[in-house]
Amino acid sequence: MARSSHDHAPARFGEATPPLDEAPPAAHPKVLRDELIAAAEWVSQYLSNLPEAPVSRPMPARQRARLREAPLGRTGGELGQVLDFVREEIAPFPTGNGHPAFFAWINSPPAPAGLIAELLGAAVNATCGMGDNALMDLERGTVRILADLAGLPATSGGVLTSGGSMANLLALATARTWYLTRRGSGDGTAYDRDHARLTLYYSAQAHMSVAKAAACIGIPAHRLRPVPSDAQHRLDPAALRAAVAADQAAGLLPFFTVTTLGTTATGAVDPLEPVTAICRSTGMWHHADGAWGGLGAVAPALAHLYRGVADVDSMTVDPHKSLSVPVGCGALLVTDPEHLHTAFAHRASYLTPGEPDTLPWLSHATIELTRPGTRALALWATLHHLGRDGVTTLLQHYLTLADRLRDKINANPRLELVAGGPWPVACFRLTDTGTSDPDTLHTRIAHHVRTAGRAYLATVTVHHRTVLRACLCNYRTSESDLDLLLREVLHAADADRAAPTQDTVE
């Protein structure tokens, strides 16, 4: 369905030679203005109607193929086609994470301030890699605010990233340079010799991006040490100490330990102080992966678990998870930012900071050179819209919802809470499954709920069993959505029992 045509000539390119002062893709100012207004109107309608739409819906195979295979036409189109395309081909098939009944992964809806900032930041289009511009200073400022919210010392710095995976990769590469440089094996045959002996540690509950990052920097799987976790899914410091000692005795070089603040599966927070103590006594770098739970220190209910957080060497935080900054906005925070510069400051003749008092460019603290300023602006806008109290209230909202959800599960004789917390997640199962294969049943139930389109949850493996998992990270979620979710689960279970053969993918 196309919108009515405009009262001015459409900006169509490719049909005639454009004037020299306005090459494609330039747009007539009035066309641009009208389209921006139309887009803004559509966005506000879309977001306010979103709870009425299905959480997600299956995408027709033909449409998927069209998106993958459609060729580029010879002549260009009208600017207004962008909105038409998004409305008809993209928006009806979201991941679902904008919807208040989406509980599957740690994916939030976009914060309104972040949304506006993304558009404005794209217009300014600063690159936060080199040179001087306002957004680069704003990035330094937002990183400092994040570090402060996380409870890190005032000396801290860091960079924004595309997300937690990239932040974990930067942390690992930084720690490797720090460790090898300190040993005098930053290059040459000493590097080859020592690099081949590096070992790293994390709990068995850690996010898989840690192992992926290790693979990227050339540390093979056989030198990774997933350390056992305790009954509450927290890293066991005694097991860490034993693993490190065994590796040292074998002539290996333990250099990096990751604690997780808010594990992805069950929301556990690893013990910080005992791990820092082990890292200090063995010469390791302590990285806290707080992609989800890095800001827990600001929530009074969680603060006691973050004692000692100021002593970690680095921390990953994902503002696109807990703060609803639009995807992708992650951050690596480092208590001594000099370590980042040692790892990443590579120079080129055409890229030389000018004045002697110039601050280090952000490209000297990360892998990227041309970097979006939209991240800093969207983060700044979201943080300033919330204020410090708003951040606390938001996290507390999720914690309260999760408590309610766990209470409702505990109160329902057909459901059993298996794990969850202190971060806002509930892992649960059916008590009376009536089947010898409850794992497959739970997978089927999650699938049934998703296909019905009124709610969306995931499954996860806890204690070797497949169970249902619902996490809370949507500021639009209310208590009625929790009731809806549990209703949908029980309804799916009843339907499955009534027709156990109809479990194939539609």
* Interface residue list for ligand PLP (CB under 6 A): 106, 163-165, 168, 207, 209, 260, 264, 289, 291-292, 318, 330
The β-bridge partners of 159 are 332
Cα 311 from chain centroid (whole Å)? 24
The smaller minimum CB distance to ligand PLP, of residues 291 and 472, is found at: 291
Q: How far apart are CA 236 and CA 285, in angstroms?
A: 17
Q: Is 335 exposed, middle or buried (0-12, 13-18, 19+ CB in 10 A)?
A: buried
Q: How far apart are CA 223 and CA 175, in angstroms?
A: 16
Beta strands 253-260 and 198-203, pairing class: parallel
Q: How far apart are CA 502 and CA 61, in angstroms?
A: 21
Residue 233: CB minimum distance to ligand PLP, A: 12
The smaller minimum CB distance to ligand PLP, of residues 159 and 445, is found at: 159
Residue 262: CB minimum distance to ligand PLP, A: 6
The smaller minimum CB distance to ligand PLP, of residues 164 and 438, is found at: 164
Cα 228 from chain centroid (whole Å)? 25
What per-residue string of b and e applies to 191-212 under the rule 16 or more CB within 10 Å gives b?
A: eeebbeebbbbbbebbbebbbe
Residue 289: CB minimum distance to ligand PLP, A: 5
Mention every residue, 6+ apart, whose C-beta is less than 8 A from residue 249: none
Where are any strands of DSSP class E within 81-174? Answer: 157-161
Instruction: Quickly list DSSP for 92-111.
Output: TS--STTSTTB-SSS-PPPP
The smaller minimum CB distance to ligand PLP, of residues 180 and 272, is found at: 272
Residue 320: CB minimum distance to ligand PLP, A: 6
The smaller minimum CB distance to ligand PLP, of residues 168 and 266, is found at: 168
The residue whose two tokens read 């806290």 is 288
Residue 295: CB minimum distance to ligand PLP, A: 13
DSSP H stretches of helix in 284-437: 319-322, 338-344, 374-411
Compute the Cα dihedral for 206, 208, 213, 218 and give only its sign: positive
Residue 165: CB minimum distance to ligand PLP, A: 3
- Residue 233: CB atoms within 10 Å: 23
The smaller minimum CB distance to ligand PLP, of residues 247 and 318, is found at: 318
The smaller minimum CB distance to ligand PLP, of residues 230 and 338, is found at: 230
Residue 401: CB minimum distance to ligand PLP, A: 18
The smaller minimum CB distance to ligand PLP, of residues 204 and 452, is found at: 204
The residue whose two tokens read 């558009």 is 119
Residue 291: CB minimum distance to ligand PLP, A: 3
